[in-house]
Amino acid sequence: MLETKKLLKDSISKVDAVLEILDARLPVASENPLVNNLCKDTIRIKILNKSDLADPAVTDMWLSYFEHQRKVPVIAVSGTQKSQAEKALNYCISRITRNRARKAKVMVVGIPNTGKSTILNTLAGKKIAKTGNVPAITRHKQRTSLKNNIDIYDTPGILWPVIEPKERAFALAASGAISDTALDYHEIGFFAAGLLLKKYPGLLLERYGFLHDLPRDESDLIEQIGRARGCLKKGGSIHYQKAAEILIRDLRSGKIGKISFETPKDIESTNETI
């Protein structure tokens, strides 16, 4: 992490602008505080990526929040869509003052699994950066030359050492930003179940047809998924970890529906508590 921090600090000082890639489903939880400190004197655009997986109404709330309360440029995109990725890059380039003969240098930063490399591949029109539905795929800085005299840099994603409050860490884990090897699936599944029961009960009933009525609580939801999907131990008891894994995979992939993990109101409430 220290090596990556030094790499980012040195690199940001040499570029014209920064595209900060956030997960549209949890824009504040997926912000790395380090980026705020390093980009004070650099043009920065916040990109709410994976908007195709997020609740559109909540994404609109986030765009308004960043524009009016944070006073920062922001745009929501699906990084796999070329027109949307190019729109984000062009929005960034339009804010750079430079001699047209000189290349514009843009750096892509963000925490693991927000889709930085996916956006880069989409802009380049070919696979030039490793991608995957696991964090920490990019290991070092990568430069790519694009049309219109633009150089764009992909960088490793890093998380900060202590993530607070605890619910923010759970949201990051449920989204896939934290390595699965560090997960307690039962605990993260419990968090995901609570989120869905509270905010998206209709989508739960629609996705899991075997739920004739809304489950009583988180444990009941995971248990019903386990029974319906055959996640059973010897003797017929529920294998909670396997059932939780199914719920988390469905949540991450968008199979349950367009879901946002947090809203601006959630953040304001958390800040008041802290």
* pLDDT, tens digit (0-9, with 9 covering 90-100), for 211-269: 989 999 999 999 999 999 999 999 999 999 999 999 999 999 999 999 999 999 988 76
Q: How far are the Cα atoms of 55, 197, 212, 216 from residue 209, in angstroms, in the given order? A: 21, 15, 7, 16
Q: How far are the Cα atoms of 55, 67, 126, 146, 208 from residue 121, in angstroms, in the given order? A: 25, 28, 5, 11, 34
Instruction: Give span(s): CATH 3.40.50.300, the chain.
Output: 2-154
Place of tokens 């991450």: 252
Instruction: Give span(s): CATH 1.10.1580.10, the chain.
Output: 166-273
Q: Who contacts 164 (Cβ-Cβ below 8 Å, separation ≥6)?
A: 274
DSSP state of 103: P
- pLDDT reported for residue 1: 61
**Percent share of the chain, pLDDT over 70:** 90
* Mean pLDDT computed over 99-114: 89
Cβ atoms of 145 and 128 closer than 8 Å: no
* Mean pLDDT computed over 88-99: 90
Upstream peptide bond of 201 is cis (omega within 30 degrees of 0): no
Architecture of domain 166-273: Orthogonal Bundle (1.10)
Q: Who contacts 227 (Cβ-Cβ below 8 Å, separation ≥6)?
A: 238
Cβ atoms of 177 and 133 closer than 8 Å: no
- pLDDT reported for residue 138: 46
Pairing of strands 142-146, 104-109: unpaired
More confident residue, 10 or 109: 109
Strand partners, 145: 151
Does residue 123 sit in helix, strand or coil? helix
- pLDDT reported for residue 198: 96
Q: Which of the listed CATH numbers 3.30.230.70, 3.40.50.300, 3.40.50.970, 1.10.357.10 matches domain 2-154?
A: 3.40.50.300
Is the pLDDT reported for residue 139 higher than 70? no
Confidence of residue 154 (pLDDT cuts 50, 70, 90): confident
Tokens found for residue 200? 């998206």
